Structure 1
Amino acid sequence: HCPESFEKLTQLVNRNFFETRRDFEKYAELFPQSFLSRISLLGSDGHWLDAGSGEGFALQDLFNQTVIDPEAVIKEADSSFWRKRKILIDPVNLQESAQRLNFRSPEDKPKITGITYKMERPDPKIPNLTFKIGRFFEEIPLNEFAQADLITDLYGVISYTPRLDEVLRRYHALLKDSGRAYLFIGDYLTVPQHIWTRRVERIGEEGWYSPFVNSTVKKADGSTVSLLDWIQSLPDFYAEVEKVVIQQPKRGNLVPGQIERSTLVLEKKTGHSNIPSLKLVESDEGKPPVRKFEEVP
């Protein structure tokens, strides 16, 4: 299964060009609102697994007295330090989720596991918060994990792995029945907009800005489909793309439009997984990379 791909991945991680310090409010902004609802309903018997947690600040935030400040989230949604915009947020859902999350006693909070290959700070040593550090998810024995109600993957394992089929099997095995995995996949522009690529602003045309969606799978019958379509066709999950809508005002010669910040939500179906085997045949140097896979017998 392309061991040289893990060598490339190790080199990439060690160069550390990633955003690794996201807090929980950033997760609440990037993921669809059903994520916030789901996690706010988890009690002491719940388990959240974050597949690519970086420095782990978002996970640690869940053990704060105030997990999320609705006013701060709404203020951030209405502006940005570098351009005007508006993230559409349901204030009722935000307030209700915040009330469930904030000021909850530690014993009423779920268990949380973060997977991070490289962590620059010491483990904060919080009860019920566990970090798996220094190993790729694909190589950690499954029996080291508890069953999960919720898996999040924000530019994490699914965006970089050379063993995508194995990761999906593991997600299926680790999710409780009807548990959900939130796989962040990127942005769709409804009209040309100003976008940022590697900290440089440019004009982005209408369409997907997503290495995940631009990746492909060549199926056993010879046809080629997008990675998104391939995963959505798997019988092992109920699959739906959920969106966070960001309104962009008129700017210069560009007409107003919106960015649809998209997450693939997979809900586990019962039974054994029947995910076809894949091999990675090509991967570029992007962060994350555009990849080409093929089904293998």
Structure 2
Amino acid sequence: MRQFFVFVFSLVLLFSGVTASASEQCSSLFLVQNWEVSSRVRKNKFVTNRDLYEYREVLHTDFMNSLSKLTPDQHWVDLGAGKANAQIDYIKSFSNPLSAAQATGVAYKLDRWFSPPKFDGKLQIKEGAFEQQPTATWKKADLVTDVFGVISYTHDLHTSLQKVFDLMNVKGELYIFTTNYHTSIKVGEKKSLSLMDFLATIEGIHVEGRYGTIKITKEIENVIVPSFELVKYVDDAPPSRTYIRSDLVH
């Protein structure tokens, strides 16, 4: 159906004598891709019950040590937290929940019958797209995790990364587990970078790890993510995405 729509739309443009500019073509592509992403996200076909044991197994080996060092006034944000099982496991490991760090789970959509425990205010769930969350009003994060979450699935990777780095404290750590080579960023006519290689080009962060198991330490206050835009999105779990530096698009 989508291919038929694109075909008909192309005929309309051809016979109406409309010649779209390169920027208009880009905009049309982005609108189609955004619809495709939103359609998949609305179905909520993701794993939502990953526990802390699984986080320990798949994230960078420094993760559990960093988590254990968090103090009660610090903050752990989990992107794509599902039912926040990992954060619930973490808080339950304390005899007194108030001894745990503040935990915020970002979940696009919760099951209607699911009501997560609040642990005297230590756990919050932010429901909805991360890109639209008012993260500037949140408590700064000392630890951020993403296990096949926002960073793997978002169409607007630039905004998501920028919001994450803005949210983090200096010396804060971001732990990512993703399929590294499903995401590529074109930075020249013949050069494409994997997600991890692209992250390593951003000034003010230190990147470690390999094969999609990534640890990032924020080293300066104002980290600026170079602009890039989506040019290809293939729906999968996780999707395959191709981006291009914005100054190379038009």
Using structure 1 for the length normalisation, give the TM-score.
Answer: 0.68
Q: State the 1:225 CA deviation.
A: 2.2
1:266 aligns with 2:210: no
Q: More relative contact order in 1 or in 2 (CA 8 Å, sep 6+)?
A: 1
Residue of structure 2 in register with 1:42 after alignment = 70
User: In the alignment, does 2:75 pair up with 1:53?
Assistant: no
Q: CA deviation at 1:220?
A: 5.1
Aligned match of 1:119: 110
Tell me how far 1:275 sits from its aligned partner: 1.6
**Partner AA of 2:202 in structure 1:** L
Q: Which secondary structure does the structure 2 equivalent of 1:18 belong to?
A: coil
CA contact (8 A) 2:158 2:225 kept: yes
Alignment correspondent of 2:20: none
- Cα deviation for residue 162 of structure 1 reads 1.4
- Report how many aligned residue pairs link the two structures: 216
3-state SS of paired residue (2:54): helix
Match of 2:46?
Answer: 18
Structure with a larger share of its residues in strand: 1
Q: 1:163 to 1:262 in 2, by over 3 A?
A: closer
Residue-by-residue CA offset, 1:196-223 (whole Å, 9 max, x unaligned): xxxxxxxxxxxxxx3x324211115663
Aligned to 1:276: 226
- Give the whole-Å Cα distance in 1 for the aligned partners of 2:133 and 2:102: 18
**Contact conserved, 2:182 with 2:239, CA < 8 A, in 1?**
no
SS of the residue aligned with 2:53? Answer: helix
Q: How big is the shift at 1:4?
A: 4.2
Percent identical? 29
31 and 140 in structure 1: CA distance in 2 versus 1, 3 angstrom threshold? same
Pairwise CA RMSD of aligned residues?
A: 1.9
AA in 2 matched with 1:10:
S
Structure 1 unpaired stretches of 5+: 68-102, 186-209, 243-260
Measure, in 1, the Cα distance between the counterparts of 2:197 and 2:139: 29
Is 1:109 aligned to residue 77 of structure 2?
A: no
Q: Name the amino acid aligned to 1:233.
A: T
Distance 1:214 1:23 in 2: 24
The residue matched to 1:270 in structure 2 has which SS? coil
Counterpart AA for 1:158: I
Does structure 2 conserve the Cα–Cα contact (< 8 Å) formed by 1:283 and 1:291?
yes
Partner of 1:129: 123
Residues 213, 227 of structure 1: 8 Å contact kept: yes
**Mapped partners of 1:268, 1:16: distance in 2:** 31
User: 1:118 aligns to what SS in structure 2?
Assistant: coil
Distance between the aligned counterparts of 1:227 and 1:34, measured in 2? Answer: 20
The 3 A distance-change label for structure 1 pair 3 and 149 is farther
| Residue 129 of structure 1: how far off its partner (Å) | 0.4
The 8 Å contact of residues 217 and 227 in structure 1, kept in 2 or not, is answered as yes
Q: 1:42 to 1:104 in 2, by over 3 A?
A: farther
Specify the code of the residue in structure 2 equivalent to 1:182: Y
Q: Which amino acid aligns with 2:184?
A: T
Task: Tell me if structure 2 keeps the 8 A contact 1:219–1:295.
Answer: yes
